[in-house]
Amino acid sequence: MCGIAGLIHRGKSSKVGHELQGMLQALKHRGEDSTGYALYGDTDGKNFIMRFKVGENVGEGSTSVAEDVSVYDERKKIVDSYLNEMGAKIIKEERILPYSLRYEIEYNKKDLLEFSQKIESIPGVEILSMGKSLEVIKDLGNAKMVCDRYNLDKLVGTHAIGHARMATESGVDIKSAHPFWGYPFSDVSVVHNGQLTNYWNNRRALENKGMRFMSECDSELIAVYLAEKMRDGASLEEGMRESLTGLDGVFTYFVATKDSLGMAKDTMAAKPLVLYESDDLVAMGSEEIAIRSILPQEIDTYDPFDGEVKVWQI
């Protein structure tokens, strides 16, 4: 059992970091092994923001092996040198935690595949997100703990999705935490609640087509599946509709891009989702209490039906 939440403001910006924190904290009883945020902040759109990790959180409850901080330093140096080699200029650098970094990068090539492959060829390094608006922040603990650790409260943006995870089929670590970046597409992220039963079949087929998996978490498949569909020319919504038959199991998932937010629900409607929709705000979560954390007044909400796909623009 995991909890997912998402919101999109239409025609305005808001403190989406604070809002999503409240929504995910309301769902913490659904799992607090790890919590992740995909925040779409207000930027000038010129530079890429790369969130990446050079190691794992090895705190209480983690299934990762402890490493010396000097290893993280060494990996960071290699990342810096690779960026230099590829002509990417670091405009701003923040080391939020010993293992977690945020770079603002000037990089003019559109294809991020080669870029990502090069960076992730360094053992222990994973790009959590790459985009001109998207920032994926995920770590162990509940929503408030992660929000406080990464100072997400003040982040202003248009939309966001997040995930409160109860680890069931893979480890308690950052690499298995949601959201997943829609590698190698800029500004695409996914969160999922459910279980995918044809994970390995799909994974093998997608790996044969050159797609990359960083974890053994079944939910990562959705991000990779959609990325592959979009690589072949499908729109996000088309890819999501195909996923209803291409993915087997029970699922409700959210996908976000630079300017849109979407949801899909499996054909058995086995996983919960409550949705609120108004002219200027769409908010949804695994339980109504998530929406209530930002809209305490009486509101009209509903459960999307089985096999439903919806996409909203900012």
Partner 1 sequence: MANIKSVSKKTKAQAMGMHTEVLTGRTQQKFFNPDEAENFYYFGTHDVDFNKRTDLDVKDMSAAEANKEIDNLMSQGYGTIVIKNPQGKHSLGVGILNKLNLIFEGSLGYFGMGSCDGPIVRINGRVGWSCAENLMAGKVVIEKNAGSCFGAAIRGGDLICKGSVGARTGIDMKGGTIIIGGDAGAFTGFMMQRGRIIILGDVGINLGDSMYDGTIFVGGEIGSYGSDAVDSDLTKSDQDWLKRKLKVAEIGENFDVSKMKKIVAGKKLWNYDNLEPTEKKGAI
Compute the least distance from the CB of residue 295 to partner 1, in Å.
10
272 binds partner 1 (CB under 8 A): yes
Compute the least distance from the CB of residue 307 to partner 1, in Å.
8
Compute the least distance from the CB of residue 296 to partner 1, in Å.
6
Q: Which of residues 232-271 bind partner 1 (CB under 8 A)?
A: 267-270
166 binds partner 1 (CB under 8 A): no
58 binds partner 1 (CB under 8 A): no
- Select the span of 88-96, 108-116, 152-160, 305-313 touching partner 1 (CB under 8 A): 305-313
Q: Closer CB to partner 1, residue 205 or residue 268?
A: 268
Between CA 183 and CA 154 the distance in angstroms is 27
Q: Closer CB to partner 1, residue 176 or residue 293?
A: 293
Q: Closer CB to partner 1, residue 168 or residue 267?
A: 267
- Write the DSSP string, 248-272: -EEEEEEEEETTEEEEEE-TT--S-
Q: State which amino acid sits at residue 109.
A: K
Q: Choose which of 50, 224, 274, 309 interacts with partner 1 (CB under 8 A).
A: 274
Residues recognised as catalytic? 2
Q: Which of residues 178-207 bind partner 1 (CB under 8 A)?
A: none
Give the total residue count for the chain.
Answer: 314
Q: Closer CB to partner 1, residue 26 or residue 140?
A: 26
Kindly give the pairing relationship between strand 274-277 and strand 281-285.
Answer: antiparallel
Q: Which of residues 28-47 bind partner 1 (CB under 8 A)?
A: none
Distances (CA, A) of 143 to 101, 149, 229, 274: 19, 10, 31, 19
Between CA 312 and CA 314 the distance in angstroms is 7
Between CA 154 and CA 13 the distance in angstroms is 12
Q: Closer CB to partner 1, residue 61 or residue 307?
A: 307
Kindly give the pairing relationship between strand 189-196 and strand 249-257.
Answer: antiparallel
Between CA 311 and CA 278 the distance in angstroms is 14
DSSP helix, strand, coil percent of the chain (3-state; round to 5): 25, 30, 40
Q: Closer CB to partner 1, residue 22 or residue 124?
A: 22
Where do the DSSP E strands lie in the chain? 3-9, 34-41, 48-53, 89-97, 100-106, 126-131, 134-140, 157-165, 180-181, 189-196, 249-257, 260-265, 274-277, 281-285, 301-302, 309-313
Compute the least distance from the CB of residue 312 to partner 1, in Å.
19
Compute the least distance from the CB of residue 253 to partner 1, in Å.
17
Site string for partner 1, 275-304 (x = CB under 8 A): ------------xxx-xx---x-xxxxxx-
Compute the least distance from the CB of residue 298 to partner 1, in Å.
5
Instruction: State both tokens at 107.
Output: 């990089």
Residues in contact with partner 1 by the rule CB under 8 A = 267-270, 272, 274, 287-289, 291-292, 296, 298-303, 305-307
